[in-house]
């Protein structure tokens, strides 16, 4: 969830580790300097000319709140969903009062300084025109309180925490009240209450009249705005779909029409387009360079395109792609290439990404092949599959099936998930009884251990009786 260290984070106002509205913290994160430096700079500039305060308010208004809190955590397919479901978001992330305590202290301090400063100036005989300054100050404070509430509402929408509505409304009311008081004080300077009443009534009637006239326009403007916004969203979506159809489906259809006399070509095109459309409609959009499942799927798709033979891919579980995983994917690809070249369809691959190892099964229905019969100069099977797997600490077996061949690849995880260990042990206990019937492991465990080293060197000393042929590397653990 964290952005990578190289990437500069967007300028946002974080909800954690802030004093007032998070502007300084946000800038510090964005620029990459200590937050204290930013704060001191703001205070100095604010003290000297007041520009700091204006800049702070401007940034407060214009900078969006950090959004990560409300975004749902993606489910990690490699972890059992139960574990993820039972693991609630950590409390320090969801907590956080709407207004940090520091801001109250800050507000009190600033007020004290202001009042003290005014009193001091009055005392020295300078006319600070308190009659104007105080109401303006009141209006400003009220506005800040009301805006802060707006800010909190926005944040509550991201975090999904409703908070205490009553408090929010009270704060809004206080803010508006203070602004009204300030305006009132401003207007009533040195006038009697009766005069003010007349003025207030006149102002109110003008306001109401204006509102009455403007309301229909405002409503229409608002609904127009909404409609336009909706239309734009739909338009974007439509353009997205149209672009995809144009780049993919229409091109393919054109190619199919031109190549209609070549059935194999048409089948390849149709199959490729189907896969692409399918992954666009239902796909997980995982990056093949990141996760094992996506990498296997991509490798199978590549082989499918190269040889226009349909390959059924089934993958369960997932994990990040590491070195062993990459080797496994390459071996799977090689096995698939063999299957589509020498075997016959249906070709299928099943990859099970378990807690302690990855197992891959590549199956075809051809005449089958014999490792012994493979010429020495043909490196495909021996080097790209068997050699590669053993070099990375995995194992490879090739089994003759009644029709066809099955290549079985196993690659233990290089750094086992610590919390998966107990489950892995439980599973090993369960499967030792259940999965034993695999003829290879039952028939030739001793033989495979004995000849494992020689076969690794490429010497063709595979016992003729060993069918299915078993080739294993050094002990895995």
| Contact flag: residue 420 with other proteins (CB under 8 A) | yes
Q: Among residues 34 and 419, whose Cβ is nearest to other proteins?
A: 419
- Binding pattern to other proteins, positions 110-149, x when CB under 8 A? ----------------------------------------
Distance CA 113, CA 441 (A): 84
- Residue number with CB closer to other proteins (172 or 301): 301
What residues from 362 to 391 belong to the interface with other proteins (CB under 8 A)?
Answer: 363
Site for other proteins in 45-74 (CB under 8 A): 74
Binding pattern to other proteins, positions 72-111, x when CB under 8 A? --xx-x-xxxx-xx--------------------------
DSSP state of 65: B
- Which range in 16-24, 34-42, 107-115, 420-428 contacts other proteins by CB under 8 A? 420-428
Residue 100 vs 354, nearer CB to other proteins:
354
Compute how many residues bind other proteins; rule: CB under 8 A. 44
Cα separation of 119 and 102, whole Å? Answer: 26
Length of the chain (residues): 477
> Which residues inside 296-355 make contact with other proteins, applying CB under 8 A?
310, 312, 314-317, 346, 348, 350, 352-355
Query: Which parts of 278-297 interact with other proteins (CB under 8 A)?
Result: 278, 281-282, 284
3-state secondary structure of 399: strand
CA atoms within 13 A on the CB side of 360: 32
| Piece of the chain touching other proteins by CB under 8 A; list 53-61, 139-147, 215-223, 426-434 | 426-434
Residue closer to other proteins, measured from CB, 191 or 316: 316
Q: Where are the alpha helices (DSSP H) in 160-262?
A: 165-187, 193-244, 251-258
Report yes or no: 324 and 389 within 8 Å, Cβ to Cβ.
no
Give the one residue of 19, 53, 423, 447 binding other proteins; rule: CB under 8 A.
Answer: 423
Q: Does residue 30 bind other proteins (CB under 8 A)?
A: no
CB of 320 to other proteins, least distance (A): 15
426 binds other proteins (CB under 8 A): yes
What is the spatial distance between Cα 361 and Cα 357, in angstroms, rounded to a whole number? Answer: 13
Query: Edge-to-edge strand order for the sheet containing 395-400?
Result: 311-316, 347-353, 357-363, 405-412, 395-400, 469-471
Minimum distance of other proteins from residue 344's CB (angstroms): 13
3-class SS at 144? Answer: helix
Choice from 19, 427, 447, 463 touching other proteins (CB under 8 A):
427
Cβ neighbours for 475, distance < 8 A, ≥ 6 positions apart:
none
Q: Report d(CA 468, CA 398) in Å as an integer.
A: 6
What are the φ and ψ backbone dihedral angles of 75, each rounded to 5 degrees?
Answer: -80, 130
Q: Which among 240, 266, 239 is positioned nearest to 253, based on CA atoms? A: 266
DSSP states of 335-364: HHHHHHHHS-S-EEEEEEE-SSEEEEEEE-
**CA angle (229 as vertex; 226, 230 as ends), nearest 5:** 90
- Least Å from the CB of residue 171 to other proteins: 36
Place of tokens 């507000």: 107
Q: How far is the CB of 392 from other proteins (least distance, A)?
A: 21
Q: Report if residue 402 touches other proteins, rule: CB under 8 A.
A: yes
> Contact positions toward other proteins, by CB under 8 A?
74-75, 77, 79-82, 84-85, 278, 281-282, 284, 310, 312, 314-317, 346, 348, 350, 352-355, 361, 363, 401-402, 406, 420, 423-424, 426-427, 430-431, 433-435, 437-439
């Amino acid at each position: 969830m964290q952005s990578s260290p190289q990437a500069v984070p967007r300028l946002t106002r974080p909800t954690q580790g802030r004093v007032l509205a998070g502007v300084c913290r946000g800038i510090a994160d964005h620029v990459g300097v200590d937050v204290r430096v930013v704060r001191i700079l703001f205070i100095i500039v604010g003290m000297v000319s007041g520009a700091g305060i204006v800049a702070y308010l401007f940034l407060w208004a214009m900078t969006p709140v950090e959004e990560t809190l409300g975004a749902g955590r993606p489910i990690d397919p490699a972890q059992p969903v139960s574990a993820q479901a039972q693991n609630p978001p950590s409390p320090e992330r969801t907590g956080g009062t709407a207004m940090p305590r520091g801001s109250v202290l800050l507000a009190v301090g600033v007020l004290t300084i202001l009042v003290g400063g005014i009193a001091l100036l009055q005392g020295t005989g300078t006319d600070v025109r308190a009659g104007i300054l105080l109401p303006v100050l009141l209006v400003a404070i009220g506005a800040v309180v009301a805006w802060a509430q707006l800010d909190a509402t926005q944040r509550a929408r991201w975090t999904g925490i409703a908070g205490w509505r009553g408090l929010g409304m009270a704060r809004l009311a206080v803010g508006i009240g203070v602004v009204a008081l300030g305006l009132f004080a401003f207007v009533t300077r040195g006038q009697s209450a009766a005069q003010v009443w007349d003025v207030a009534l006149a102002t109110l009637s003008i306001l109401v009249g204006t509102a009455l006239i403007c309301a229909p326009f405002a409503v229409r403007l608002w609904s127009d705005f909404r409609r336009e916004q909706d239309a734009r969203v739909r338009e974007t979506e439509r353009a997205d779909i149209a672009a995809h159809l144009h780049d993919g489906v229409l091109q393919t259809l054109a190619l199919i029409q031109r190549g209609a006399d070549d059935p194999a070509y048409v089948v390849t095109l149709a199959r490729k387009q189907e896969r692409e459309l399918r992954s666009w409609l239902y796909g997980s959009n995982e990056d093949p360079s990141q996760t094992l499942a996506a990498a296997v799927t991509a490798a199978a798709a590549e082989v499918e395109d190269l040889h226009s033979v349909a390959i059924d891919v089934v993958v369960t579980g997932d994990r990040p792609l590491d070195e062993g995983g990459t080797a496994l994917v390459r071996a799977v690809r090689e096995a698939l290439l063999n299957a589509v070249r020498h075997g016959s369809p249906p070709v299928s691959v099943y990859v099970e990404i378990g807690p302690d190892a990855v197992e891959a099964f590549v199956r075809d229905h051809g005449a089958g092949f014999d490792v012994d019969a493979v010429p020495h100069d043909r490196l495909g099977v021996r080097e790209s599959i068997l050699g590669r797997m053993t070099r990375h600490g995995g194992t490879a077996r090739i089994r003759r099936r009644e029709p066809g061949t099955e290549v079985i690849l196993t690659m233990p995880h290089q750094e086992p998930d610590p919390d998966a260990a107990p489950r892995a042990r439980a599973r090993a206990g369960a499967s030792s009884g259940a999965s034993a019937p695999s003829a290879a492991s039952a028939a030739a465990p001793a033989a495979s251990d004995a000849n494992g080293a020689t076969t690794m060197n490429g010497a063709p000393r595979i016992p003729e009786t060993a069918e299915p042929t078993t080739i294993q590397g050094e002990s895995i653990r």
